[in-house]
Structure 1
Amino acid sequence: MSTQVDYYELLECERTADATTLKSSYRKLAMKYHPDKNAGCKNSESKFKAVSEAYEVLRDPQKRAAYDRYGHAAFANGGGGGGAQDFGGFSDIFESVFGEFMGGARGGGGRQQQRRGADLRYDMEISLEEAYHGKSTEVTIDVSAQCDTCDGSGARPGTRAKTCQQCNGHGKVRAQQGFFVVERACPVCQGTGEMIADPCPDCRGDGRVDKTKTLSVNVPPGVDEGTRIRLASEGEAGPRGAPAGDLYIFLHVKRHAIFEREGTTLFARAPLSFTTASLGGSIAIPGLDGETHDIKIPAGIQSGKQLRQRGAGMPVLQGRGHGDLVIQVDVETPTKLSLRQKELLEMFRETETGDECPASQGFFAKLKGVFAGE
């Protein structure tokens, strides 16, 4: 196809088309005419070259401005346009546009990014009191750390790594797979672009050695079951000086003898004598904050009733204030009575009218009505 055909016509775009429109149109046409999809068709190959040539000019703002002003004459006599490029050049343009569909195949030609070290996990058990107040502690872990002898390079001190001959230092190798060009990490250097000719005697070229480390951990007030604390760069070191991973401390809160927790709310069950439940009063509950909380008991309280003490619960993690303390009352019926207590209760029963316990009175009245056919 003649290079004198208007580039905008070749790309089926208006002259006012923006860069996104030009790129989209080129993708569609390049996919349509690519030789791998039209094996042996000279016409398709010619069209593919033509649309690639057009896009190579129009994607560059300076070349496009020159073309808009002077047309094809702007690139006559080696003026920097298309026309004289070979098929490999057009393939490069194609790959630059379709790179995201091929896993970033070109990637700027640099070596593969260094492999970061692995993250590590450490499980720590704490008490509910420690979760309330927070704590500072230390943990000891066994980890692959940077080799001090070679400073993580993997090479014997006084020597240096050499460029990998397989990938010429790029860290990647390319392979044609049908319609696509695929890049993979170099199997010889594992993507580093370098080879260790004289490895460090301590780490044997890996840049890492096994060490035992003791680390300080700050547990903030208000943590809960499963809270995760991140210690940046305290995980395994990356190979040959690559960045280290992170260490994650996972917290597990031990079951408490009295309190149960739901978010920032603390729950406790308190048995209550039937006399206090009847007459009212107060009970003293020691809190996790070290204070004693007096819970007022209203007269006539029933089992299962919950009483709330504002601000006596768990602290808000990384915030202000506290949750609440909720006490659930369980009225206890006495099982061991002295003779005098029994006499007093008999005297009380003789004075009962039924109004003292309206729920019981209502139930038996309803029961009587059912069986009486009312």
Structure 2
Amino acid sequence: MTQRDWIEKDYYRELGVPPDASADEIKKAYRRLARELHPDANPGDAEAEARFKRVSEAYGVLSDEKKRREYDETRALFAGGGGRFAGGGFPGGFGTAAGPGFDLNDLFGGASGAGGLGDLFGGLFGGRGAGTTTTTRSRRGADVESELRIDFVDAVRGAEVQLRLTSPGRCERCGGTGARPGSTPRTCPTCGGVGLVSRSQGAFAFSEPCRDCRGTGRIIDDPCPECGGEGMSTRTRTITVRIPPGVQDGQQIRLKGQGEPGRGGAPAGDLYVRVHVTPHRIFGRSERNPDDITLTVPVSYPELALGSTITVPTLDSTVTLRIPPGTASGRTFRVRGRGVQRKGKAGDLLVTVELAVPSRLDDKAVEALQSYAEATKDFDPRADLFGGAR
């Protein structure tokens, strides 16, 4: 990504957010657009694929706090918040198209000794003259986000899931060189591979990006037909994502070095995969301790009143559970070690018994219940209810 790109491209407009949007607003806008424009959702739609690339590029800058700050400062300094200069260059004749890797430090010179405006002001105040001693800086690749849906059992036990990812990456055909396979870029003879050339204008001397190599320090005589000499292309790859046991819905998994490739030998960014867990039909996760699995089991009144031993399912098999006589509906029992299995510890299965009332009774059952009601008429389950209200 170049500062020239930052000046000419409005990443906020690309994502449909205002310049003062929060990080969460930017993330939500990106996720919505990525789902709509993803090549898998729009097979054969070249326009949607191109927009997907632009949205990914915009998010790669605005999601990184440091890159976003540099982007805002660059546009405020050179483009007045979104305009572009006549002729596509910098103000005051600072050159033409700045190629990949061009950095503002090349203009200001700083402590790097790269010349630029530092040389201009040095000429005015007796400082050093023009000089070009540094090459284009390497730049770490942008982080990439994706989403993945798994079932409840895989979330509890852990699994390896294949993720198909479409994102900007190093061109596989040329290996990122930008040159057609079998050929190699050559050092620019004009700048000697530095990417900057010195120029004098009256009493002033300053450096500007080399026009012949566009500031890259390299000349590609035979560009790669796939990436057009950029060394980057949109590619689809399959990545194995290891889901740890006990992952929760909405949790992110970081895959180091699986993001956008770096420039100039810099490391690649990271891939962040947000996991969505499909709810299970009967099992759940405890809010107090996600390593505990929850289960509600319907039971009859005699099983609660007289006590019983019942069989309940687990994720692996079944277990027996003893219900003591006089158990109230809603009571929860703990079955040790039948929850999430992690290294060194295991969660439990929390079984809540719930009274199930028949919707219809035959004459024999009605007669039996009436006899029971008569036999227990001295028992008032609401005896403390009215006393507590006073």
TM-score by length of 2: 0.55
Q: Is the counterpart of residue 231 in structure 1 residue 255 in structure 2?
A: yes
Over 3 Å counting, the alpha-carbon distance change for 1:366 and 1:238 in structure 2 is closer
- Deviations along 1:279-313, whole A, 9 cap, x unmatched? 1113222111x121222212212222222222211
1:88 partner letter: G
The match for 1:98 is none
Q: Is the counterpart of residue 312 in structure 1 residue 338 in structure 2?
A: yes
Q: What is the CA distance between 1:365 and its match in structure 2?
A: 7.0
2:357 partner letter: T
The match for 2:359 is 335
CA–CA distance in structure 2, aligned partners of residues 184 and 117 of structure 1: 27
- Deviations along 1:212-242, whole A, 9 cap, x unmatched? 2222232232222233333333333345665
The match for 1:361 is 383
Q: Is the counterpart of residue 206 in structure 1 residue 233 in structure 2?
A: no
CA–CA distance in structure 1, aligned partners of residues 314 and 365 of structure 2: 34
Aligned residue for 2:341, secondary structure, equals coil
Q: What is the CA distance between 1:314 and its match in structure 2?
A: 1.7
* Equivalent pair of 1:304/1:329 in contact (CA under 8 Å): yes
CA–CA distance in structure 2, aligned partners of residues 142 and 172 of structure 1: 38
* Equivalent pair of 1:167/1:186 in contact (CA under 8 Å): no
CA–CA distance in structure 1, aligned partners of residues 283 and 179 of structure 2: 57
Q: What is the CA distance between 1:166 and its match in structure 2?
A: 7.6
CA–CA distance in structure 2, aligned partners of residues 240 and 338 of structure 1: 82
* Equivalent pair of 1:143/1:211 in contact (CA under 8 Å): yes
The aligned runs of 1:131-280 (5 Å cut-off) are 131-156=155-180, 157-163=182-188, 169=194, 193-198=216-221, 200-202=223-225, 203-239=227-263, 242-262=266-286, 263-280=290-307
CA–CA distance in structure 2, aligned partners of residues 346 and 360 of structure 1: 19
| Identical-pair percentage | 30
* Equivalent pair of 1:167/1:193 in contact (CA under 8 Å): no
Q: Which has the larger radius of gyration?
A: 1
- Deviations along 1:269-288, whole A, 9 cap, x unmatched? 22221111111113222111
1:264 partner letter: D
CA–CA distance in structure 2, aligned partners of residues 141 and 113 of structure 1: 28
The match for 2:26 is none
* Equivalent pair of 1:149/1:200 in contact (CA under 8 Å): no
Q: What is the CA distance between 1:266 and its match in structure 2?
A: 1.4
Give the alignment's Cα RMSD to 1 decimal.
3.9
* Equivalent pair of 2:248/2:275 in contact (CA under 8 Å): yes
Q: What is the CA distance between 1:188 and its match in structure 2?
A: 6.9
Q: What is the CA distance between 1:165 and its match in structure 2?
A: 6.0
Over 3 Å counting, the alpha-carbon distance change for 1:125 and 1:366 in structure 2 is closer
Aligned residue for 2:248, secondary structure, equals coil
Q: Which runs of 5+ in 1 are unaligned?
A: 1-85, 92-107, 174-182
Over 3 Å counting, the alpha-carbon distance change for 1:201 and 1:282 in structure 2 is same
Q: Which runs of 5+ in 2 are unaligned?
A: 1-124, 199-205
Q: What is the CA distance between 1:184 and its match in structure 2?
A: 12
The more displaced of 211-220 and 118-127 is 211-220
1:116 partner letter: R
Q: What is the CA distance between 1:209 and its match in structure 2?
A: 2.9
Out of 142, 146, 160, which is 1:118 matched to? 142
The aligned runs of 1:101-112 (5 Å cut-off) are 110-112=134-136
Q: What is the CA distance between 1:128 and its match in structure 2?
A: 0.9
CA–CA distance in structure 2, aligned partners of residues 190 and 299 of structure 1: 87
Alignment coverage as a number of residue pairs = 255
Over 3 Å counting, the alpha-carbon distance change for 1:114 and 1:199 in structure 2 is farther
- Deviations along 1:300-337, whole A, 9 cap, x unmatched? 12222222222211223xx3222121122222333322
Q: What is the CA distance between 1:200 and its match in structure 2?
A: 1.9
Aligned residue for 2:376, secondary structure, equals coil
The match for 1:88 is 127
1:169 partner letter: V
Over 3 Å counting, the alpha-carbon distance change for 1:246 and 1:204 in structure 2 is same
CA–CA distance in structure 2, aligned partners of residues 278 and 284 of structure 1: 18
The more displaced of 202-211 and 125-134 is 202-211
Over 3 Å counting, the alpha-carbon distance change for 1:194 and 1:338 in structure 2 is same
The match for 2:13 is none
Q: What is the CA distance between 1:125 and its match in structure 2?
A: 0.8
* Equivalent pair of 1:118/1:236 in contact (CA under 8 Å): yes
